Amino acid sequence: MARVLVIEDEPDLQELLRYNLQKEGHTVTIAGTGSDGLHELRRQPFDLVLLDLMLPDRDGLEVCRIVRGDEAFSSLPIIMVTAKSEESDVVLGLGLGADDYVTKPFRVKELMARIRVRLARHLDETRDAERRRIQVDKLTIDPVRHRVLINEEVIPLTLTEFKLLHFLASHPGVAYGRYDMLDRVGDGDSVVTDRTIDVHVRNLRKKLGEYERLVETVRGVGYRFSEIP
Ligand code: CA
Protein backbone atom coordinates (compact mmCIF):
# COMPACT_ATOMS: atom_id res chain seq x y z
CA MET A 1 0.00 0.00 0.00
CA ALA A 2 1.63 3.19 -1.14
CA ARG A 3 1.02 6.90 -1.44
CA VAL A 4 0.90 7.80 -5.12
CA LEU A 5 0.90 11.29 -6.58
CA VAL A 6 -0.67 11.58 -10.03
CA ILE A 7 0.29 14.73 -11.93
CA GLU A 8 -2.09 14.69 -14.87
CA ASP A 9 -4.41 17.29 -16.36
CA GLU A 10 -6.89 15.14 -18.30
CA PRO A 11 -9.97 14.46 -16.12
CA ASP A 12 -10.68 11.07 -17.75
CA LEU A 13 -7.16 9.85 -17.07
CA GLN A 14 -7.22 11.26 -13.56
CA GLU A 15 -10.29 9.17 -12.78
CA LEU A 16 -9.00 6.06 -14.53
CA LEU A 17 -5.74 6.20 -12.58
CA ARG A 18 -7.40 7.06 -9.30
CA TYR A 19 -9.84 4.15 -9.67
CA ASN A 20 -7.19 1.56 -10.54
CA LEU A 21 -4.65 2.70 -7.98
CA GLN A 22 -7.25 2.74 -5.22
CA LYS A 23 -8.35 -0.73 -6.27
CA GLU A 24 -4.78 -1.88 -5.53
CA GLY A 25 -5.03 -0.32 -2.10
CA HIS A 26 -3.00 2.80 -2.72
CA THR A 27 -3.74 6.28 -1.46
CA VAL A 28 -4.04 8.63 -4.43
CA THR A 29 -3.51 12.38 -4.67
CA ILE A 30 -4.30 14.09 -7.97
CA ALA A 31 -2.60 17.29 -9.14
CA GLY A 32 -3.82 18.90 -12.37
CA THR A 33 -0.77 21.09 -13.00
CA GLY A 34 2.97 20.84 -12.55
CA SER A 35 2.92 23.56 -9.90
CA ASP A 36 0.19 21.80 -7.93
CA GLY A 37 2.20 18.59 -8.18
CA LEU A 38 5.34 20.23 -6.79
CA HIS A 39 3.24 21.82 -4.06
CA GLU A 40 1.80 18.43 -3.03
CA LEU A 41 5.28 16.89 -2.99
CA ARG A 42 6.48 19.46 -0.48
CA ARG A 43 3.32 19.13 1.61
CA GLN A 44 3.26 15.37 2.25
CA PRO A 45 5.38 12.26 1.66
CA PHE A 46 4.83 10.04 -1.40
CA ASP A 47 6.16 6.66 -2.49
CA LEU A 48 5.75 7.14 -6.24
CA VAL A 49 4.87 9.81 -8.80
CA LEU A 50 3.02 9.31 -12.07
CA LEU A 51 4.00 12.26 -14.21
CA ASP A 52 2.26 13.37 -17.39
CA LEU A 53 4.58 15.18 -19.78
CA MET A 54 2.11 17.63 -21.33
CA LEU A 55 0.79 19.79 -18.54
CA PRO A 56 -0.99 23.14 -18.83
CA ASP A 57 1.50 25.25 -16.90
CA ARG A 58 4.95 23.70 -17.20
CA ASP A 59 6.04 20.55 -18.88
CA GLY A 60 6.62 17.30 -17.07
CA LEU A 61 10.32 17.34 -17.91
CA GLU A 62 10.75 20.53 -15.92
CA VAL A 63 8.84 19.00 -13.01
CA CYS A 64 11.10 15.94 -13.22
CA ARG A 65 14.22 18.11 -13.21
CA ILE A 66 13.06 20.11 -10.19
CA VAL A 67 12.14 16.96 -8.25
CA ARG A 68 15.44 15.23 -8.99
CA GLY A 69 17.35 18.41 -8.18
CA ASP A 70 15.98 18.25 -4.66
CA GLU A 71 17.99 16.04 -2.32
CA ALA A 72 14.84 15.10 -0.40
CA PHE A 73 13.37 13.37 -3.45
CA SER A 74 16.50 11.79 -4.87
CA SER A 75 15.16 8.24 -4.59
CA LEU A 76 11.45 8.87 -5.20
CA PRO A 77 10.32 6.71 -8.15
CA ILE A 78 8.93 8.67 -11.10
CA ILE A 79 7.03 7.03 -13.95
CA MET A 80 6.40 9.29 -16.92
CA VAL A 81 3.21 9.09 -18.94
CA THR A 82 3.74 10.35 -22.48
CA ALA A 83 2.03 10.51 -25.85
CA LYS A 84 3.64 8.48 -28.63
CA SER A 85 4.73 11.65 -30.38
CA GLU A 86 6.83 12.63 -27.37
CA GLU A 87 9.33 9.81 -27.64
CA SER A 88 12.33 12.13 -27.78
CA ASP A 89 11.04 13.56 -24.50
CA VAL A 90 11.18 10.07 -23.02
CA VAL A 91 14.91 9.95 -23.65
CA LEU A 92 15.26 13.38 -22.03
CA GLY A 93 13.07 12.37 -19.13
CA LEU A 94 15.05 9.22 -18.41
CA GLY A 95 18.18 11.37 -18.62
CA LEU A 96 16.66 13.70 -16.04
CA GLY A 97 16.17 10.82 -13.66
CA ALA A 98 12.72 9.39 -14.37
CA ASP A 99 12.70 5.66 -13.61
CA ASP A 100 10.31 4.41 -16.24
CA TYR A 101 7.65 5.49 -18.72
CA VAL A 102 4.48 4.37 -20.47
CA THR A 103 3.11 5.82 -23.69
CA LYS A 104 -0.53 6.82 -24.20
CA PRO A 105 -2.75 5.04 -24.86
CA PHE A 106 -1.45 2.59 -22.28
CA ARG A 107 -2.91 -0.62 -20.97
CA VAL A 108 -3.91 -0.15 -17.36
CA LYS A 109 -2.67 -3.64 -16.46
CA GLU A 110 0.77 -2.86 -17.83
CA LEU A 111 1.00 0.44 -15.97
CA MET A 112 -0.09 -1.20 -12.71
CA ALA A 113 2.52 -3.91 -13.19
CA ARG A 114 5.24 -1.31 -13.70
CA ILE A 115 4.09 0.57 -10.63
CA ARG A 116 4.28 -2.63 -8.58
CA VAL A 117 7.85 -3.26 -9.76
CA ARG A 118 8.96 0.29 -8.94
CA LEU A 119 7.31 0.32 -5.54
CA ALA A 120 8.83 -3.02 -4.58
CA ARG A 121 12.28 -1.84 -5.59
CA HIS A 122 11.84 1.48 -3.79
CA LEU A 123 10.74 -0.33 -0.63
CA ASP A 124 13.75 -2.67 -0.84
CA GLU A 125 16.13 0.25 -1.29
CA THR A 126 14.57 2.18 1.55
CA ARG A 127 14.79 -0.83 3.89
CA ASP A 128 18.34 -1.56 2.81
CA ALA A 129 19.33 2.07 3.33
CA GLU A 130 17.75 2.11 6.78
CA ARG A 131 19.39 -1.14 7.81
CA ARG A 132 22.86 -0.04 6.76
CA ARG A 133 22.63 3.52 7.95
CA ILE A 134 24.89 4.57 10.80
CA GLN A 135 23.43 7.12 13.15
CA VAL A 136 25.32 8.97 15.87
CA ASP A 137 23.30 11.72 17.46
CA LYS A 138 22.36 13.97 14.53
CA LEU A 139 25.03 12.60 12.21
CA THR A 140 23.82 10.11 9.60
CA ILE A 141 26.09 8.02 7.39
CA ASP A 142 24.12 6.49 4.52
CA PRO A 143 26.28 3.99 2.58
CA VAL A 144 23.53 3.20 0.07
CA ARG A 145 23.31 6.76 -1.19
CA HIS A 146 26.90 7.59 -0.27
CA ARG A 147 25.77 10.52 1.81
CA VAL A 148 26.54 12.02 5.16
CA LEU A 149 23.97 14.25 6.78
CA ILE A 150 24.09 16.44 9.84
CA ASN A 151 20.68 17.61 11.03
CA GLU A 152 19.22 16.23 7.77
CA GLU A 153 21.52 18.44 5.73
CA VAL A 154 23.91 16.84 3.26
CA ILE A 155 27.62 17.37 3.99
CA PRO A 156 29.59 17.47 0.74
CA LEU A 157 32.36 14.90 1.21
CA THR A 158 34.78 13.59 -1.38
CA LEU A 159 34.56 9.87 -2.12
CA THR A 160 37.75 9.21 -0.14
CA GLU A 161 36.50 11.22 2.84
CA PHE A 162 33.23 9.32 2.73
CA LYS A 163 34.96 5.93 2.57
CA LEU A 164 37.26 6.84 5.45
CA LEU A 165 34.41 7.95 7.66
CA HIS A 166 32.23 4.98 6.77
CA PHE A 167 35.05 2.49 7.34
CA LEU A 168 35.95 3.90 10.77
CA ALA A 169 32.31 4.31 11.81
CA SER A 170 31.57 0.68 10.84
CA HIS A 171 34.04 -0.41 13.53
CA PRO A 172 33.49 2.05 16.38
CA GLY A 173 36.13 2.07 19.09
CA VAL A 174 38.68 0.16 17.00
CA ALA A 175 41.92 1.98 16.19
CA TYR A 176 43.29 1.57 12.67
CA GLY A 177 46.69 2.37 11.32
CA ARG A 178 47.11 4.51 8.24
CA TYR A 179 48.04 1.50 6.10
CA ASP A 180 44.90 -0.39 7.16
CA MET A 181 42.88 2.62 6.19
CA LEU A 182 44.72 2.92 2.89
CA ASP A 183 43.73 -0.65 2.02
CA ARG A 184 40.10 0.21 2.59
CA VAL A 185 39.81 3.54 0.86
CA GLY A 186 42.38 3.45 -1.93
CA ASP A 187 40.53 3.08 -5.21
CA GLY A 188 43.54 2.10 -7.24
CA ASP A 189 43.28 5.20 -9.42
CA SER A 190 44.26 8.14 -7.32
CA VAL A 191 47.43 7.88 -5.29
CA VAL A 192 46.58 7.73 -1.62
CA THR A 193 49.59 7.43 0.66
CA ASP A 194 49.79 7.18 4.43
CA ARG A 195 50.49 10.88 4.67
CA THR A 196 47.56 11.81 2.47
CA ILE A 197 45.34 9.88 4.90
CA ASP A 198 46.17 12.60 7.42
CA VAL A 199 45.18 15.27 4.93
CA HIS A 200 41.90 13.53 4.19
CA VAL A 201 41.15 13.14 7.89
CA ARG A 202 41.91 16.81 8.48
CA ASN A 203 39.53 17.85 5.68
CA LEU A 204 36.92 15.39 6.88
CA ARG A 205 37.03 16.77 10.42
CA LYS A 206 36.65 20.30 9.13
CA LYS A 207 33.50 19.30 7.25
CA LEU A 208 32.09 17.42 10.23
CA GLY A 209 32.10 20.63 12.29
CA GLU A 210 30.66 19.92 15.75
CA TYR A 211 31.18 16.18 15.15
CA GLU A 212 34.87 16.42 14.27
CA ARG A 213 35.87 14.76 17.52
CA LEU A 214 34.13 11.55 16.45
CA VAL A 215 37.27 10.87 14.42
CA GLU A 216 39.90 10.52 17.13
CA THR A 217 43.64 10.42 16.75
CA VAL A 218 45.22 7.44 18.49
CA ARG A 219 48.88 8.24 19.11
CA GLY A 220 51.30 5.78 17.60
CA VAL A 221 48.49 3.93 15.81
CA GLY A 222 46.22 6.04 13.64
CA TYR A 223 42.55 6.81 13.96
CA ARG A 224 39.44 5.56 15.67
CA PHE A 225 35.75 6.37 15.50
CA SER A 226 34.25 7.36 18.82
CA GLU A 227 30.57 6.65 19.36
CA ILE A 228 30.25 9.38 21.93
CA PRO A 229 29.36 12.66 20.24
CA1 CA B 1 -1.59 16.15 -20.46
Residue range 163-178: mean pLDDT, rounded? 94
What's the 4 CA to ligand 1 centre distance in angstroms? 18
What's the 188 CA to ligand 1 centre distance in angstroms? 49
What's the 52 CA to ligand 1 centre distance in angstroms? 6
Q: Are 101 and 82 in contact (CB under 8 A)?
A: yes
pLDDT digits over 56-78, tens only? 998 899 999 999 888 778 789 99
Measured between alpha carbons, how far is 17 from 31 in angstroms, rounded to an integer?
Answer: 12
Statement: residue 188 has pLDDT above 60: no
Task: Give me the pLDDT at residue 174, please.
Answer: 95
Q: Is 74 helix (H, G, I), strand (E, B) or coil?
A: coil
What's the 55 CA to ligand 1 centre distance in angstroms? 5
Measured between alpha carbons, how far is 76 from 66 in angstroms, rounded to an integer?
Answer: 12
Q: Is 80 helix (H, G, I), strand (E, B) or coil?
A: strand
pLDDT digits over 197-223, tens only? 999 999 999 999 999 999 999 999 999
What's the 155 CA to ligand 1 centre distance in angstroms? 38
Which structural domains are found in the chain, ordered by start?
Answer: 3-131 (3.40.50.2300), 134-225 (1.10.10.10)
Residue 102 main-chain phi, psi, to 5 deg: -130, 150
What's the 59 CA to ligand 1 centre distance in angstroms? 9
What's the 54 CA to ligand 1 centre distance in angstroms? 4
